[in-house]
Structure 1
Amino acid sequence: MATNINLNDIYIFHFVSELKSITAASKKLNTSKQTISRKLAQLEESLGVTLIARNTRNFQLTNAGQDYFQSCAKIIEQVEQANAMVQQHQTAMEGRIKICLPHEFNNKKTCSYFMNFMDANPAIKLDISLCDRNSFSMADGFDLAIRLGELEDSSMVARSLGGVNYGLVASPAYLKRFGMPQKCEDLYQHTYIMVSKSSSAVDKDSPLLKCRQLVVNEFMLGKQFASQGFGLVRLPLFMCTEELVSGELVILPVEQCMETRPLSLMFLKDKYMPGYVRKFIDYVVDICRDQDIWTVNPEPYIYLPPKAKTTAAVNQAVSA
């Protein structure tokens, strides 16, 4: 049984046989003739077969050498095809990218950005999953992940995508019915819609945890309950921009419930990353670079009850 045979020795034998000359093969491979002769002798010894009938005038393969050359030619062709395929993989704008997103990004805005990328790059396929922070792992086959909050895994590369600001929102109809909480203690009297999959959980001492609660596992569902006037919900403000503009939802001026969390795009350190993955990374970073697209200025949408506005108007008139 043949032992100690490696692909380099097969390559050398293939080139010597193809060129019918050790001298010519040494020039092509930039290797000394002595090294090539030694490798051929080692190959023959490992196989227990004479492959080349050597003499000073002629170069000739034995019958066994001819058969071995034909088989080696097929192996080398397959290896070269595999090499070419992998190298093309690094530059081609075609492939599949598996992406992990936090549940906060289950919204129209995220979809529109991904759709724009796919429209511009139809050969690149996106495979998108919503994942809990603790369940995310590159071992699951993800190429990229968008993460909220402070990062802990230093083995990965992180590119900043800005920040996401959160706020407590409700419908005006709910606030007219149950009153406007002015401070944290006032929240005890309200119904809180808790999103269990949030990457930004409320503090364990928060009065929100002592409210009457409805627990849902998706932000979109929580937003729907709030829009219908069921209670208060803490959301990323970019997720409810349309509802804030239309007045369907308003922001409560409870400072303790407002927060901005850093947003990052994460991936493994890999200098041989496929070109299509790099293109997607550049696209995401570029659209976030010049504008903070995931934050919303809360001031225009903070709720002031009609009574508060009337009192303010009266005070202003009196002072005048």
Structure 2
Amino acid sequence: MTNLGDLEIFSRVIAMGSMSAAGRALGLSPAVVSKRVKRLEERLGTRLFQRTTRQISLTEAGQGFYERIVGILAGIEEAEAFVSGRSGVVRGSLRISAPTSFGRMHIAPHLKGFMDKYPELVVNLILTDDFSDIVGGGFDLAIRIGELSDSSLVARRLAPVRRVLCASPGYLARRGVPATLEDLAQHVCLPPHTQDVWRLEGPDGSVTYRPHGPLYTNSSEVVSEAVTSGMGIALRSTWDVGPALKNGELVQVLPDYEGSRNVVLSAVYPSRQFLPVKVRLFIDYLAELFGPLPYWER
């Protein structure tokens, strides 16, 4: 039978992204971690990782193996917490995927408060604007902004997302203030490349508008900089542009129209019978931090 310690090391290497980082989290040398992984591969008779001088990645066999053991390891962790009655003592690593801008603005500043409560927990926060493969990427959970879709994943709503059309006072002084949705055709619009249409809620219900402009980018931060600098009109979330709206750097336009209310901030995690304590505690922490009326709306 495979040593459970070897499985934990294997899982930690995936979560931390390298054998040296996994060793630091476990209090082991990189040589010991490498030896234990090699022993596991020899026992299974297959390579679990592809190794290069710069990175380490799962083989197809390693990916399938990980998908089958991750729930087992989580169940053992949950069982130990239940039996020992130490649910407040959280150990191990927590691997989180989050959108780049939101993670930098609204997760990173609050990590200290969470980690101070659970000092034995190692947090690995990965910021990306791509929808990460939670299971395949070895993530415990992902923070996502969008419309929830049916899947094998479980989602918990953390906060509403309000999106408004906005522009800088300088841009509006040059180009005028649009009075109707149709007026946007005479303006420069700044959609990210992922938004072919703007789905809006207006006085007559849901409508769509196909924006056009000279700038297309996969970075929401670039769009924020562009609209603030006076390049055009953008549909932005208030968690992103709230301060600029408050201090007058940006002005809301067409206030009767806002982004679809189906877009929400959610924590998404694999569907498991037993949710690991570390995941539940972090989700509860964010839910309390944000809530039905998040602080950026107050």
Compute the displacement of 1:280 (Å). Answer: 1.2
Aligned partner of 2:240 in structure 1 is 239
SS of residue paired to 2:174:
helix
Preserved contact between residue 183 and residue 254 of structure 1 (Cα < 8 Å)? no
Q: 2:271 aligns with which of 261, 269, 272?
A: 269
Aligned equivalent of 1:49? none
In 2: Cα distance, 1:104 partner to 1:232 partner? 19
Unpaired stretches in structure 1, ≥5 consecutive residues: 6-81, 298-320
- Within 5 Å, which residues of 2 pair with 1:167-178? 167-178=164-175
Q: What residue in structure 1 maps to residue 222 of structure 2?
A: 221
Distance 1:134 1:109, change over 3 A: closer
Task: Determine the structure 2 residue equivalent to 1:155.
Answer: 152
| Cα displacement (A) at 1:133 | 5.9
- Change over 3 Å in CA distance of 1:236–1:140 after alignment to 2: same
Give the AA of the match of 1:262: V
Distance 1:121 1:197 in 2: 37
Q: Does 1:112 align with 2:109?
A: yes
- 1:255: how far off? 3.5
TM alignment of 1:69-88, pairs within 5 A: none
Cα distance change, pair 130–143 in 1 and its aligned pair in 2 (3 A): same
The structure where helix makes up a greater share of residues is 1
8 Å CA contact 1:192–1:231 kept in 2: the answer is yes
1:293 matched to which residue of 2?
294
Query: Quick one: percent identity of the two aligned structures?
Result: 29
> When the two structures are aligned, how many residues end up with a matched partner?
212
Instruction: Give 1:129's aligned amino acid.
Output: I
Q: Is the 8 A contact 2:98 2:126 kept in 1?
A: yes
What CA deviation, in whole Å up to 9, does each residue of 1:76-107 have, x standing for no partner? xxxxxx9xx96657854122111122355244
Which structure: larger Rg?
1
Which residue of the partner structure matches residue 179 of structure 1? 176
Letter in structure 1 aligned against 2:280: R
Do residues 123 (structure 1) and 125 (structure 2) align?
A: no
Per-residue deviation at 1:179? 0.4
1:24-76 alpha-carbon deviations (Å, 9 max, x no partner): xxxxxxxxxxxxxxxxxxxxxxxxxxxxxxxxxxxxxxxxxxxxxxxxxxxxx
Instruction: Assess if the C-alpha contact under 8 Å between 1:167 and 1:258 holds in 2.
Output: yes
User: TM-score, with normalisation over the residues of structure 1?
Assistant: 0.57
In structure 2, relative to structure 1, the CA distance for the partners of 1:138 and 1:207 (3 Å cut) is: same
Counterparts of 1:197 and 1:107 in 2: how far apart (Å)? 20
Q: Is the contact made by 2:197 and 2:209 (CA closer than 8 Å) also made in structure 1?
A: no
For the pair 1:202 / 2:204, whether they are aligned, the reply is no
Which residue identity is paired with 2:254?
Answer: P
